[in-house]
Structures are given as C-alpha cells and as structure tokens.
Amino acid sequence: MMGYSIRTNQYRYVEWYSWNKEENKKGEILSNELFDHHVDPQENKNLANDAGHKETVDLLSRQLTRGWSHSR
C-alpha cells in the first residue's frame, strides 16, 4: 500500500493505493481519509465518507491527482 496526501489550512486528505512492486507504480485506490483540523486536530474522525464533505473530498482528490504545483 502507498498513501498520498494533501494538506490545506483546514484539511488533510489522504488516498491509499495498492502498490505494484514490479512496475513501481500505484494501482487502484483502496481507501481515503479526510480530517478537519479546525474541529479535530488529532485526526480522530475520518470525514471522507460523510455526504456533507463530498465536495471537499472531490476537490482535494482532483488537486492531489494534478500535483502540488497546480494547487494554488
């Protein structure tokens, strides 16, 4: 497994992928996590599957896929 993460002033978003060792690249997404540091600085509650955070998850996922240089 390999995890990729993006951090904003409010959130940390993580995507976990299977890892293909032979080809040295990520495979399918296995899981994701979203933490709101304004209300949960210790990252105890994963909000990624809450319907009220779908828009945030989608936005951060797109930014993570595009890479840090496009997240301005």
Per residue of the chain (72 residues), give pLDDT as tens: 899 999 999 999 999 999 988 888 888 999 999 999 999 999 999 999 999 999 999 999 999 998 866 655
Tokens of 45: 């509650």
User: Which are the contacts of 44, defined by CB distance < 8 A and separation ≥ 6?
Assistant: none
Residue with token string 């304004």: 38
Is this model's pTM higher than 0.95 or not? no
- In terms of residue numbers, what domain contains 16? 2-70
* Residue 63 belongs to domain with CATH number: 3.30.1120.10
Domain count, the chain: 1
The greatest distance separating any two alpha carbons of the chain, rounded to the nearest whole angstrom, comes to 41
